[in-house]
Amino acid sequence: MERATQTNLDQLCINTIRTLSMDAVQAAKSGHPGTPMAMAPVAYCLWQRFLRFDPQDPIWPNRDRFVLSIGHASMLLYSLLHLTGVKAVSKDYETLGELSVPLEAIKNFRQLDSRCPGHPEYRWTSGIETTTGPLGQGVATSVGMALAGSWMGAQFNRPGFEDLINFNVYALCGDGCMMEGLSGEAASLAGHLKLSNLCWIYDNNRITIEGNTAWAFSEDVATRFIAYGWNVTRVGDANDLEMLHRAFQTFHSATDRPTLIIVDSHIAFGSPNKQDTSGAHGEPLGEEEIRLTKRNYRWPEEAKFLIPDGVYDHFKDGIGKRSKTLRAAWFQRIKEYRTKYPDLADQLYKMQHRQLPAGWDKDLPNFPPDAKGQAGREASGTVLNAIAKNMPWLMGGAADLAPSTKTRLTFDSAGDFSAENYSGRNLHFGVREHAMGSILNGMGLVKVRAYGSGFLIFSDYARPALRLSALMEIPTIHIFTHDSIGVGEDGPTHQPIEQLASLRSIPGFIVLRPADANEVVEAWKVIMNLHHAPAALILTRQALPTLDRTKYASAEGVKRGAYVLADAGDGKPEVLLLASGSEVSLCVDAYEQLKTEGIKARVVSMPSWELFDDQGEAYRGSVIPPSVTARVSVELASTFGWAKYTGTTGQRIGMRSFGASAPLKDLQKRFGFTAAGVAEAAKAQLAKTR
């Protein structure tokens, strides 16, 4: 190959990204070659010339974030991670000597245990900032990153250190992301909040899986984004590095709104028979087409996974050198910052390492017994405020329901996050549950501890984001109130039935449904100590009695997921009453009634199946003894899954319809949720097993 000039070196690097992507997809016999081929110059220009990302330290806190929202184009990102020499980082935040993506991993693209899975996965491959693949998620998550960055700037930047936190967030998206409603929700909020640290790059190639976007997508995206309050700029040719360069400069100079760069491109650029066709979208080009394309690129036709001389060095001299200097300067600054602002520096460190500040729990309340009690949401509001006061980077809000979910931080310094005040800790997501879920993930990825809230019924609107929080193993906090037909008069549209079972079925997702105010305190303790798992806190709208813990067991049992709350005098129950949340006190009433009749019952409070299932067999057996087969479960929700604890012979009192619109008392009667009903069921169980 001829000796490369500067421009040739650019082209050489771009074509290396292209050919690596083509070869990897071909070797895997599956994947998406076309978009990495088209977007290679865009990603190259951004990474090589602008991105403040040190491959030697891919977790440097003030690094720019790059999000590949078109996750199917994963080979684009893997090629960059490899060519720029990004280092692997351990779970304990140590940078390891080895490459995050060695060439071997690219050769094993999409194979078992390869660092290059089909779509980019956070926590699996260092340098991947978020898991992407479900279209729209990446861009929406990027809004959370930018929002968290703006908050961090307001929190940590101080006189003499005005630019300590000033990272930018770039997200590369396509037609699919633009069509998903999620991106609209997220862009609307980002525009409203004037997040000028956010740049989306839209690959306007007019091709999706079914063919040309003309089948289903004809709106003027530029106008839409202008209406959202974005700065919109265009690049007419994805291969034009200078125009791309200018577009990124335009982004840098826009200080009052986010930027959308619309880039016209040709999918599978350079492929003589597949360029501009959906054939280049989801399948390999084929050996012959690869040869023809490489010929077009003036590339050795038979070479596979070729990285020509000079490519690694060129990236080292570009993004490598530039970012190394920036990173070193930043760490020098943080040293000075630590001497001037030790408390803030300590906060930043703890936050970045997902540690809790000393004294975070010092104001946690202890609720006295109270027959009238209070709603779960009410207790949670008190607890959340008690914690947030002592943990500056705990922040969040609601999808326009804070007065109902009780998630507002009410202490003086909390403030409201807005375009005019990035230091506020009360977020207003608007009626955008899905975007809220993704934004929480983005915030969590930047290591802010974020919570969002809404009605449990609307968790369905956010489900793809909830699922991703579990897949990414990030400790986002999802607060869901109005957790059952207990919402009463609002009726079936607002009465969650299958939502609990569905959340419990997400692997690695911790669901907590506390039974009274003191269980709420314990549930929050569990949540705050989670580092790699998201949690859903499920709370009632209606008041629940605060149980007398001198009479019944301590709420500390919450941390084990389930515990014996009330027992037979001799510890040898004949029948088990299993329940979560609002139905626990119902079981306690039934238990007292059964006691007067000489029936030995045990009440097991089961706020979290996931935590309970993680306990050893001995503990599980001590709470639900295998020998006691007379069992009744009670939950104001679908009975789906309860057979795991009741066995097939137990009785499951739950919901088998969508509920109805009526006062709660009437609903409880109609659907069989009364202490007398539970006691009857217990007796029927005993009659069966005796």
Ligand X SMILES: Cc1ncc(C[n+]2csc(CCOP(=O)(O)OP(=O)(O)O)c2C)c(N)n1
Q: Is 561 in the site for ligand X (CB under 6 A)?
A: no
Nearest-Å Rg of the Cα atoms of the chain is: 28
φ and ψ of 481, to 5 deg: -110, 180
Q: Is 175 in the site for ligand X (CB under 6 A)?
A: yes
Residue with Cβ nearer ligand X (121 or 361): 121
Strands (E), 231-279: 231-235, 259-264
Residue nearest to ligand X (CB): 174
Q: Is 514 in the site for ligand X (CB under 6 A)?
A: no
Q: Is 174 in the site for ligand X (CB under 6 A)?
A: yes
Residue with Cβ nearer ligand X (174 or 654): 174
Q: Is 72 in the site for ligand X (CB under 6 A)?
A: yes
Q: How many other CB atoms are found less than 10 A from the CB of residue 124?
A: 17
* Binding residue count for ligand X, defined by CB under 6 A: 20
**CB 200, min distance to ligand X, A:** 13
**CB 494, min distance to ligand X, A:** 26
**CB 278, min distance to ligand X, A:** 7
d(CA 650, CA 628): 10
**Sign of CA pseudo-dihedral 85, 90, 92, 95:** negative
- DSSP-assigned states of every residue in 542-594: SEEEE--TTTS--GGGGGGS-EEEE--TTS--SEEEEE-TTHHHHHHHHHHHH
- Which position among 134, 153, 376, 437 is part of the footprint of ligand X (CB under 6 A)? 134
Please give the C-alpha separations between residue 466 and each of 210, 300, 613, in angstroms, as whole numbers.
28, 46, 21
Q: Is 18 in the site for ligand X (CB under 6 A)?
A: no
Please give the C-alpha separations between residue 611 and each of 87, 276, 361, 646, 681, in angstroms, as whole numbers.
35, 51, 21, 18, 27
Contact region with ligand X (CB under 6 A), list: 207-215, 307-315, 482-490, 541-549: 207-215
- Which position among 14, 51, 70, 667 is part of the footprint of ligand X (CB under 6 A)? 70
Residue with tokens 């194979």: 111
**CB 77, min distance to ligand X, A:** 13
For residue 262, the cross-strand partners are 202, 234
- Which position among 28, 143, 187, 267 is part of the footprint of ligand X (CB under 6 A)? 267
Contact 290, 24 (CB under 8 A): no
Contact region with ligand X (CB under 6 A), list: 94-102, 132-140, 406-414, 475-483: 132-140
Contact region with ligand X (CB under 6 A), list: 170-178, 388-396, 410-418, 566-574: 170-178
- Which position among 11, 35, 100, 459 is part of the footprint of ligand X (CB under 6 A)? 35
Residue with Cβ nearer ligand X (21 or 453): 21
**CB 182, min distance to ligand X, A:** 8
Q: How many other CB atoms are found less than 10 A from the CB of residue 689?
A: 14
d(CA 146, CA 258): 10
Q: Is 203 in the site for ligand X (CB under 6 A)?
A: yes
- DSSP-assigned states of every residue in 306-350: ---TTHHHHHIIIIIHHHHHHHHHHHHHHHHHHHH-HHHHHHHHH
- Which position among 9, 207, 290, 468 is part of the footprint of ligand X (CB under 6 A)? 207
d(CA 37, CA 207): 14
- Which position among 31, 118, 138, 176 is part of the footprint of ligand X (CB under 6 A)? 176
Residue with Cβ nearer ligand X (281 or 525): 281
Please give the C-alpha separations between residue 47 and each of 44, 51, 162, 205, 553, in angstroms, as whole numbers.
5, 5, 25, 21, 58
Whether 433 is catalytic:
yes
Q: Which of 180, 433, 522, 583 is catalytic?
A: 433
| Residues belonging to the active site | 433
Residues in contact with ligand X by the rule CB under 6 A: 32, 35, 70, 72-73, 133-135, 174-177, 180, 203, 205, 207-209, 267, 281
